Each structure stands twice: as structure tokens, then as C-alpha cells.
């Protein structure tokens, strides 16, 4: 399903579209790790999804590109925890919604970044990506039924 919008959306519209797009994800890993979601998503899509961290001043925060065989998501080096997860999920949204990917140039990553900066996403695409990252992280951080204590006790002492 293509999630292309031309006009600016309200947060409510972006959130509704983000929820629909998030439903296409594989089950969220427990415990939550963005790397595990990326592994499951790569398997679901049938092509590798590689995460990179680069220290590039020209990089806004993240970037997704497809090199013809693999998807690549670059996040800014130094981003950690929730912020890094949000950046990666934002780029996953661009990937799943088939927003204009940065073209993989034969001359290297510098050209990929330059092309992405020259052809930015629309406001609607950015609003959707922000809503998607927020929705998925909220879902990922919810405690599963039974809570952590019950799960740990069951693992140690066996199920009652």
C-alpha cells in the first residue's frame, strides 16, 4: 500500500495513517530492541535492512536509501536510546510508505546524501514519519500483559 499524500495533514490525520502503516510491521520484539525489529522487517520484506551510524554534519538526523539490493538506514552518530529508535523508525516509515528514497549513487555515500538534501520529503511525508515513529515507540514501550515481575518469576520458578 502506498501512503502518498500531497497536502499537509493534521496530526490526527497523520496519526491515523501512521497507525495503519504500523499495522504492516511484524510483531514488535519484547524486550524492545530496534535492531530486532529491523531484522524481522528485513525478513518480511525479503531484503536486507542495514543500520549505520555516521558522524556527518550534513545529515539532518537520519536517511534511508535503497542500493538496488539492500535498504540502508543511517542515523547520526551519538544518537542513543529513544532518540536513535525514533530516528530509525522515522526512516522506516519513509521506506514502508515508499517515499522518495535517496538514490544510491555509484560515486558513494556523499552523493547519496547530497541527492537526498536536494530532494527533501514533503511536509506531509515528514508529518507521517514523525507520527509513525511516535506511534510505534509508544506501542513498543507498553508493558505486555502480566507485567515484567510475573514473566521473570515464571521464568525462574516455572509456570504455576
Tell me what pLDDT residue 66 has. Answer: 87
Query: What does the pLDDT look like over 73-121, one tens digit per residue?
Result: 999 888 899 999 999 999 999 999 988 765 655 466 666 666 666 566 7
| Cβ atoms < 10 Å from Cβ of 77 | 13
Strands (E), the chain: 49-54, 62-66, 71-76, 102-103
How many secondary structure helices (H) and strands (E) does the chain include? 6, 4
Q: Give mean pLDDT, residues 58-77.
A: 86
Highest mean pLDDT (candidates 5-9, 73-77, 101-105, 148-152): 73-77
Domain 16-142: CATH architecture, name and number where available: Orthogonal Bundle (1.10)
Q: Which is more confident, 106 or 27?
A: 27
Residue closest to 129 by CA, chosen among 106, 102, 96, 84:
96
Q: Contact 97/1 with Cβ under 8 angstroms?
A: no
Every domain of the chain and the residues it spans: 16-142
Q: What does the chain come to in residues?
A: 160
Q: Cα 43 from chain centroid?
A: 15
What 8-state DSSP symbol labels residue 153? H
Give CA–CA dist 120/14, Å, rounded. 18
Burial 87-97, CB ≥16 within 10 A → b, else e: bbbbbbbbbbb
Amino acid at each position: 500500500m502506498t501512503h502518498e499524500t500531497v497536502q499537509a495533514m493534521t496530526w490526527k490525520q497523520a496519526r491515523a495513517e501512521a497507525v495503519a502503516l504500523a499495522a504492516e510491521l511484524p510483531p514488535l520484539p519484547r524486550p524492545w530492541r530496534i535492531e530486532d525489529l529491523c531484522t524481522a522487517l528485513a525478513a518480511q520484506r525479503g531484503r536486507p535492512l542495514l543500520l549505520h551510524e555516521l558522524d556527518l554534519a550534513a545529515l539532518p538526523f537520519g536517511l534511508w536509501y535503497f542500493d538496488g539490493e539492500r535498504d540502508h538506514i543511517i542515523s547520526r552518530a551519538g544518537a542513543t536510546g529513544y532518540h536513535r529508535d525514533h530516528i530509525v523508525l522515522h526512516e522506516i516509515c519513509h521506506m514502508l510508505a515508499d517515499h522518495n528514497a535517496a538514490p544510491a549513487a555509484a560515486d558513494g555515500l556523499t552523493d547519496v546524501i547530497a541527492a537526498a538534501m536536494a530532494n527533501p520529503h514533503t511536509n506531509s511525508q515528514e508529518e507521517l514519519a514523525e507520527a509513525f515513529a511516535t506511534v510505534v515507540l509508544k506501542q513498543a514501550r507498553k508493558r505486555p500483559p502480566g507485567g515484567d515481575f510475573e514473566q521473570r518469576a515464571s521464568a525462574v520458578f516455572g509456570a504455576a
